[in-house]
Amino acid sequence: MTVELIKSTRTLDQLQIVWDAVIIGAGPAGAFAAMQLAGDKKILLLDKAHFPRPKVCGCCLNGAACATLARAGLSEIFAQSGAVPLHALELHHGSDQAVLGLPANGYAMSRNFLDAFLIRKAVSLGADFVCGVTAKVNPGAESTLVTIDVTASDYCATIETKLVIVADGLNGHALDRINSFAVQIEKDARFGCGTIIEGAQTLKKGRVYMCCHPAGYVGLVALEDGRYDLAAALDREFSRQSGGPARAAEAVLKYCRFPLPAGFSEAVWHGTETLTRKRERVAGHRIFVIGDSCGYPEPFTGEGMAWALQSAEAAAVLAKAAIIEWKQHLIADWQTQHEKLIGGRHHRSKFIAYSLRNGMLCDLALPVLKNFPFIGEAVLANLSGSSDKRIAFGKEIHC
């Protein structure tokens, strides 16, 4: 499925008004926040990329992510995209494998479709969208407006806003000028990489394949248009020694005796900065941080999209109050709410990734899961974060 290029709704010289909120980053967190705030407010959504843009992601939406989209009245996205209902997880480690049933509430959907859909929705509700610009927030301790420097290849200006929502993801640097928003990166953090593979595959639709190796893991899933998304988290040294991310991913697949997908050697790869990171502060004077920009553990449990959407949904409630009148307690409010909503789930995901690295999960748990899959299925149901049934065509279907 091809997604048309999304055009900016304003030219760069039309940005000089006082915005109610500027949102930096139009990934799922930023676009979803813009959608929640759009209406009678002047909302500007900015992104340095042009959409659709490539994004390293496993493209799996768990139950919590789907339920958040449904709560915002976006259930039609599943039918419109032709999203693939997910029903099984096939775990591989060496010659061992186990197949677990997934809770019947998740979908695979390409990021091209999802991200473009959310931006279009925000624009249709009245938000302005400008792409191809990089934004940096300026420090300004007690001022009534936040200033943001916006640059494009041939443009540079400072714009003003009552509130800024930073949703610039894992690779974002929009807050680099404010020391108190520093990011702590874990010493041995892995990096992410991925590609979309064209061509007929023998893999089953609706099944997530996860191949595990002591130095990383590779996930594969069929998308709505028949292409395959391949996403991996790898040790940097392993990747370097293997000759780069593609060769390292190939080594993981071979270690698991997993057939190399057709088209693998022609695929174009993208990468991320190091994954496991955390920002101690996710709020400041007239600033809220949401999505991956707050920190990210590892992608093994496939929860990042749910965290991005849910943090956007929750921050939008505080943002509405902040636009009407800024109160200093909003800083502590978002800090506490974010920790409550996402903090524990980040820790759990980190613990699972740690167990995987130390062989506990694969060496000890996989043989057990093979014989007692219901144990793993109970864990997966809990990780999916929602007991809702799958949403299809705007209503529940029972699987």
Ligand X SMILES: Cc1cc2nc3c(=O)[nH]c(=O)nc-3n(C[C@H](O)[C@H](O)[C@H](O)COP(=O)(O)OP(=O)(O)OC[C@H]3O[C@@H](n4cnc5c(N)ncnc54)[C@H](O)[C@@H]3O)c2cc1C
Site residues, ligand X (CB under 6 A): 24-30, 46-49, 55-60, 65, 134-135, 167-170, 172-174, 192, 194, 231-233, 272, 291-293, 299, 302-306, 308
In whole angstroms, the minimum distance from the beta carbon of 393 to ligand X comes to 22
**Whose Cβ is closer to ligand X: residue 48's or residue 357's?**
48
For residue 291, the minimal CB distance to ligand X (Å) is 2
Name which of 305 and 356 has its Cβ closer to ligand X: 305
Question: Helices in the chain by DSSP H: which ranges?
Answer: 28-37, 63-71, 76-81, 111-124, 236-242, 245-255, 304-324, 329-338, 344-357, 366-371, 373-383
Q: Least separation, in Å, of the C-beta of 71 and ligand X?
A: 17
Least distance (Å) from ligand X to the CB of residue 168?
Answer: 3
Which of 298, 325 has the CB closer to ligand X? Answer: 298
Q: How far is the CB of 106 from ligand X (least distance, A)?
A: 9
Peptide bond into 52 cis (omega under 30): yes
Q: What distance in Å separates the CA atoms of residue 249 and residue 319, rounded to the nearest whole number?
A: 41
Secondary structure (H, E, C), 33-84: HHHHHCCCCCEEEEECCCCCCCCCCCCEECHHHHHHHHHCCCCHHHHHHCCE
Q: Phi first, then psi: what are they for 377, rounded to 5°? A: -65, -35
Smallest gap from Cβ 308 to ligand X, in A, equals 4
C-alpha–C-alpha distance, residues 10 and 33, integer Å? 19
* Cβ nearer to ligand X, comparing 195 with 201: 195
Q: Rank residues 201 and 311 by Cβ distance to ligand X and give the closer one.
A: 311
Q: Is 107 exposed, middle or buried (0-12, 13-18, 19+ CB in 10 A)?
A: buried
C-alpha separations of 358 from 69, 139, 290 in Å: 35, 42, 31
User: Closest CB to ligand X among 93 and 111?
Assistant: 111
The nearest distance, CB 324 to ligand X, in angstroms, is 25
- 168-202 as b/e, with b when 16 or more CB fall inside 10 Å? bbbebebbeebeebebeeeeebbbbbbbbbeeebe
C-beta closer to ligand X: residue 83 or 305:
305
d(CA 124, CA 280): 35
